[in-house]
Amino acid sequence: MESATATRLPPGSKPPERPRRLDARTLAMVGFAIMCIGALIGYFAFPTYPTYDSFYALLWGRDLLQLHLPDFHVYRGPTEHPLAIAFGALSSIFGQTGARLMVLGSIASFVAAVAGMYRLSRLCFGPVVGVLAALLLLSRFFIENLAAQGYLDITYLALIIWAVALEVERPRRGTPVFLLLAAAGMLRPDAWVMVGAYWLWCSWRADNRTRLRYLALAAIGPLTWALFDLIVTGNPLYSLTATSSLAAELERTQGFTSVVASLWEYGVRIDKLPVLLGAFIGVPLALWMAPRRAAVPLAALIVLLFVYLAQGAVGASVVDRYLIGAATMLLPFTAVAIGGWSMLVPGGLVRRVWIAAAAALVIYGSVDAARNLSLTNLRTTLAYHEEFHEGLAAALAAPQVREQLRRCPLLSLPDNKLIPDARWILDSVGQHNIVARSQARSDLAKGSRTLQDRITAGSVAVYPLGGAVFLEAIVDVGDDPRDQLPLTGFRRIYTSRYYAVYANC
């Protein structure tokens, strides 16, 4: 029987290419164009609005343009991300359309991530594996759903993928990779560890002057973040301390054992079980077939997993989307399990067996997707985000509501989730006149009646109805159904499918 080693291509050689009318570059450009067209169709077919964190980035960016320092001390405020706020400032120039531009930026980032995944996997394992890895990322509906809702994590993901791809293309490439990781580090602190590891890698053979230059590039992300916090809050570590406090309040922290267990749960949620199984098979195969080229994405995967575990262990939030970097870096290895046979000499037994096993894995994945995936539910979820936002805009624009807000400018909402939407719609600078009833109740439990007295003295109160109750009103630990009960003395002045508005002016 022939050995597997005998069928492997010699080191440094490329996978065999059959004659074809169009080269790989042309086909890749055609595929990229088709993907861009599809992304634009999806963008206009599902006009969703930014999620919570991205809406605050938009608001804080608008505050800067209006020469106001952003207010980071908001009730259950998200972590501030300097690069996202910069993009929010740019988007806010276009008025109310800016909210949709934030989503467009996230969708464009997803397209860039897929293109980067193709380039990374092609450089490591050949064009067949590159196409398969791109298709795997393109079919991760968990990530696509985040992109459609304007999550800034997608831009972070694209920057990480391209940084790894450029490093694979030219080892110790230096400046371009440092700049991409610096940009990623202004979106998520995870990239600080990656850029630190990359600095060690590049400094190993560099002279002292080059080491210092690379160190300056590596410090861009954390220093920019600390300087931004210092200017706005007076505390350069505000983001780190505030994030940990909020994570504890919302019970998003876990012990180390639970964090480790969440790797499997979240990995299955993001990648799905067949893809994870393929990755477990693909990692040793990739190291066997192309050990040097597999080393960079594997190192990136290890660093991202380490950062996720370390953050959870020290008390930071543990949520599924924080694992998308590591989950995505598994995809090239799954693609190797499916298409790595293309790296073998044609005609061998190992190649034929590999193709048959890969076909079985694809069939298993297809059956699993057909059984568990519901495009109808995905469309419904995206439609709800649009309807909830548009419904709130219509409610706040109703003549009777505007009249009451003119008389009583204080607006109360059930919790923090709708506050950024309301601020954006009303073009409000600061959050002082838009408050959460859950915060008033929390303050009461601590002995303070200030906010509760402000609400009852004269205000307008919005109450979500129907599906909006469970997606926009009762969504976090500490939210209470009592915040959905109309307050004594308030009368209803507006009703729609998703919202009722009361006032006591």
Tokens in use for 258?
Answer: 């639970």
CA distance linking residue 415 with residue 467, whole number of Å: 16
Q: Could you identify the residue written with the tokens 């480790």?
A: 260
- Contact by Cβ (8 Å): 432, 451: no
Supply the angle between the helices 273-289 and 349-372 in degrees, to the nearest 10.
Answer: 160
Would you give the end-to-end CA distance of the chain in angstroms?
88
Q: Which amino acid is at 455?
A: I
Q: What are phi and psi of 25, to 5 degrees?
A: -65, -45
E strands in 100-245: none
200 CB contacts (<8 Å, ≥6 apart)? none
Q: What b/e readout covers 372-390, taking b as 16+ CB neighbours within 10 angstroms? A: eeeeeebeebbebbeebbe
In whole angstroms, how far apart are CA 45 and each of 277, 383, 386? Answer: 34, 10, 11
At 416, list the tokens.
């923090």
What separation in angstroms does the CA of 12 have from each of 8, 126, 211, 292, 370?
A: 11, 12, 30, 10, 40
Helix (H) or strand (E) holding 263: helix 256-271
User: In angstroms, rounded to a whole number, what is the distance separating the alpha carbons of residues 110 and 385?
Assistant: 19
Q: How far, in Å, CA of 432 to CA of 427, rounded?
A: 13
C-alpha atoms less than 13 angstroms from C-alpha of 116 in its C-beta half-sphere: 25
- What whole-number distance in Å separates Cα of residue 68 and Cα of residue 64? 5
Helix (H) or strand (E) holding 503: strand 499-503
CB proximity list for 211: less than 8 A, separation 6 or greater: 203
CA-closest candidate to residue 472, choices 43, 42, 46, 49: 49
The tens place of each residue's pLDDT in the chain, 505 residues long, gives 333 444 555 544 555 544 445 577 788 888 899 999 999 998 998 888 898 999 999 999 999 998 888 988 888 888 899 999 999 999 999 988 999 999 999 999 999 999 999 999 999 999 999 999 999 999 999 999 999 999 999 999 999 999 999 999 999 999 999 999 999 999 998 899 999 999 999 998 889 999 999 999 999 999 999 999 999 999 998 887 776 666 555 556 566 778 888 899 999 999 999 999 999 999 999 999 999 999 999 999 999 999 998 887 776 777 888 999 999 999 999 999 999 999 988 888 899 999 999 999 999 998 988 887 766 666 777 777 888 899 999 999 999 999 999 998 999 999 989 999 999 999 865 567 899 999 999 898 889 999 999 999 999 999 999 878 877 777 777 778 888 888 888 999 999 999 999 999 8
Helix locations, 186-290, DSSP H: 190-203, 208-218, 220-233, 238-249, 256-271, 273-289
